[in-house]
Structure 1
Amino acid sequence: MPLNKPHLTLNNSTQFIEGWYWVLPSKELKIGMVKAVTLLGKNLAIYRGFSGQVVAIDAYCPHMGAHLAEGKVDGDGIRCFFHNWKYDAEGICVDIPSLEKPLPVCIKTWHTAEQYGIIWVWVGAQKPHSLPFVPELEQVDCDYILGTRFIKNCHPNVLLINAIDAHHFNTVHNLPLQIVFDSKELNSNAINFSNTTRGGDNSWLIRLIRPLYQKEVTYSMCYWYGSTGTVTLGPDFLHFYIVFALRMIEGGKTEGQTILITPKRHGCLGWGVNRGLLWLTQQVGNYFAKGDTQVFQTIQFDLKTPTKADRSILEFIQHVNRQKALTWQTWENVENLENSETNYPPTSLLP
């Protein structure tokens, strides 16, 4: 019996994929600072201990329910404002001022990491998998700046699909090319799409820049946990790298943060070159984002009539629906539903 579409993870406002999610820029959390954060429906307190360690902890003190973000950082632990109970970086209660010995009480903490100037939280019960990264820059020392922070009136999955929607590059961005994407799963939580292009012989612009693109692959997109995308584009001698870190917010909408990246170049000249390249990268990202903004305010995504040009989108849908899902707010496991992706046509049925 076919499964109902609400069970699917893709474009579902009630569940999401277990994985790493961006929380806030590292520079916004100084040593000794604590902030209240709502991530995927769950309230957290996130703080930076005196050693520099970032800790994410469930928000409410189990004593009387006070929000821990109203408290203060003490060493690498945190004290509740209401009665001064202290919890260490593992969430274990280590001090209750009114008692000689603390009660056996603990609060759930979540794995954190910092990369590309962003604090990330691992949302899930099992051991964390890889942080999102640009595949071409996996072992490369990089410079980066944070770009635009935005909210879109659609689900993060729908926003990411746009980058592998081959035909929209012709209709929205007026590129006179036929674009075909090839996919490769890096692991169960990451899938990479790279393109080959054909045509464009009637465009003077394409004829002018084609010598700069001797390699077939000129654009690639890697998706992590269905929520973070890394883009690589540009001519053979100069690639631009953009990370779109996304998270679902109330109502199935998207809050996102762009990160602009370039390989580190040393010395004063290298520093100046990189500042210019990062600025240029932001302009490239803004150009492609501008044309799609109107669509994201009104779209009601439901792919019922796929065409051959939508093959990469169907592959992404199936990749998302195969991953482990958690429920909004509770972060509890969603029962794995066998072959749930069959609510969308398999790629083998495309013309």
Structure 2
Amino acid sequence: MKETLKIFNNSDCFIEGWYWAIPAKELRVGKVKAVNLLGKELAIFRNFEKQVIAVEAYCPHMGAHLAEGKVEGDGIRCFFHNWKFNNQGKCIEFPCLNKSLSVNLQVYPTAEKYGIIWVWTGKGTPKTLPFVPELQTEECEVIVSSSFTQNCHPNVLTINAIDAHHFNTVHNLPVEIDFETEQINQNAIAFNNKTRGGDNSFFVKLIRPFYRNEVTYKICYWYGSTGIVTIGPDFLHFYIMFASRVIEGGKTAGKTILITKKRFGLLGWIFNRIVLWLTGLVGNYFAKGDTRVFQTIKFNLQTPTSADKSIIDYIKHTEAQQAFTWGSWERFTKIKS
């Protein structure tokens, strides 16, 4: 008996981790939003202490959706019978009752970074929130530039960035891409371009003075769903985060986030606007040719080649993660064969 590959590209489960829920700017103080995250209904609100709280959506009294309720103080009150829950999920007020009951909502850890509200979907203490490796300790400016849906699983979407051969066939880049795998931690893996090449190309000759060694192109993946691309000349790197999650039918919903290091003062603000605009152009260039593939692909790597080494490394990485069942958020067990 052995375990078969049942996490990668499997819409019945997802890897334990942090997942994007909603853009932070969409949740003002005192507001609550209904969010379906990986098959589970949540109510996410920002209380009057500016904390972001994510709770199971349905009131444990009669099942009214708490996104219909009202934020009060640090908690939320159900609109149906006015039961109030604090920021720990404990019910602290029971109108029309002369006694208290022991009633609690499930509360899920949240974080706010890169203009996104993230929810931790695992058990126990949350692990590391996704970050841009080069900007781990930097204050950043971001633009949540666009939403996207694709007709394939997030795993299939993310490996596109490390599909070495498609840079020649789809994007017509005159270089032979080769990646070096870097395991950052149990939940994060990176792929670094280590190939020069293309010396006979006018385009490569034009940009070569801006690079000391290889053309900078690095992809870092977190929890099998969030991919961060670092690209650009030595003096200015562009950072694009593609935060994704699997939705019903095994498809992908995601956000494109443009990121740069925060620069201060008026000139810094103007410079960052230009950098973020250029980052958007770079992201659009690479996404333009691939969308067509994602609408019809039925991923099945039957004949791997040497150019697929990075993809195989990534599949092995995802298979080593802890997975949870889509919808119930219970631990997922790999099928034995």
TM-score of the superposition, structure 2-length normalised? 0.98
Query: Which residue of 218, 225, 235 maps to 2:223?
Result: 225
Match of 2:42 in 1: 44
Match of 1:238 in 2: 236
| Partners of 2:77 and 2:308 in 1: CA distance | 53
What is the identity, as a one-letter code, of the residue corresponding to 1:97?
P
| Cα RMSD after superposing both structures | 1.3
- Of stretches 17-26 and 207-216 in structure 1, the one that deviates more from structure 2 is 207-216
Match of 1:270 in 2: 268
3-state SS of 2:303 partner: coil
User: Are positions 1:316 and 2:314 aligned together?
Assistant: yes
For residues 269-308 of structure 1, what are the structure 2 equivalents within 5 Å? 269-308=267-306
| Partners of 1:242 and 1:91 in 2: CA distance | 35
3-state SS of 2:270 partner: helix
What is the identity, as a one-letter code, of the residue corresponding to 2:171?
H
Match of 1:333 in 2: 331
| Partners of 1:192 and 1:260 in 2: CA distance | 19
- For the 8 Å contact 1:47–1:73, the answer to whether it is kept is yes
Query: Which residue of 110, 119, 123 maps to 1:121?
Result: 119
3-state SS of 1:177 partner: coil
User: Are positions 1:29 and 2:12 aligned together?
Assistant: no
- CA drift of 1:225 comes to 0.1
Match of 1:349 in 2: none
- CA drift of 1:102 comes to 2.1
Match of 1:58 in 2: 56
Match of 1:149 in 2: 147
| Partners of 2:244 and 2:33 in 1: CA distance | 20
Match of 2:71 in 1: 73
- CA drift of 1:197 comes to 1.9
- CA drift of 1:215 comes to 2.5
What is the identity, as a one-letter code, of the residue corresponding to 1:204?
F
- For the 8 Å contact 2:196–2:215, the answer to whether it is kept is no
- For the 8 Å contact 2:69–2:78, the answer to whether it is kept is yes
- For the 8 Å contact 2:240–2:259, the answer to whether it is kept is yes
| Partners of 2:55 and 2:18 in 1: CA distance | 15
User: Are positions 1:177 and 2:175 aligned together?
Assistant: yes
Match of 2:131 in 1: 133
| Partners of 1:264 and 1:222 in 2: CA distance | 21
Runs of 4+ in 1 over 2 A off after TM superposition: 1-5
| Partners of 1:246 and 1:219 in 2: CA distance | 20
Percent of residue pairs identical:
63
- CA drift of 1:196 comes to 1.4
- CA drift of 1:334 comes to 1.1
- CA drift of 1:317 comes to 0.2
What is the identity, as a one-letter code, of the residue corresponding to 2:234?
D
Match of 1:201 in 2: 199
TM-score of the superposition, structure 1-length normalised? 0.94
What is the identity, as a one-letter code, of the residue corresponding to 1:180?
D
List per-residue Cα deviations over 1:262-305 (Å, max 9, x = no partner).
11111101100100110110010000000001000000001111
What is the identity, as a one-letter code, of the residue corresponding to 1:296?
F
- For the 8 Å contact 1:194–1:217, the answer to whether it is kept is no
3-state SS of 1:199 partner: coil
- For the 8 Å contact 1:265–1:274, the answer to whether it is kept is yes
| Partners of 1:88 and 1:233 in 2: CA distance | 44
What is the identity, as a one-letter code, of the residue corresponding to 2:50?
G
Q: How many residues align?
A: 337
- For the 8 Å contact 1:324–1:336, the answer to whether it is kept is no
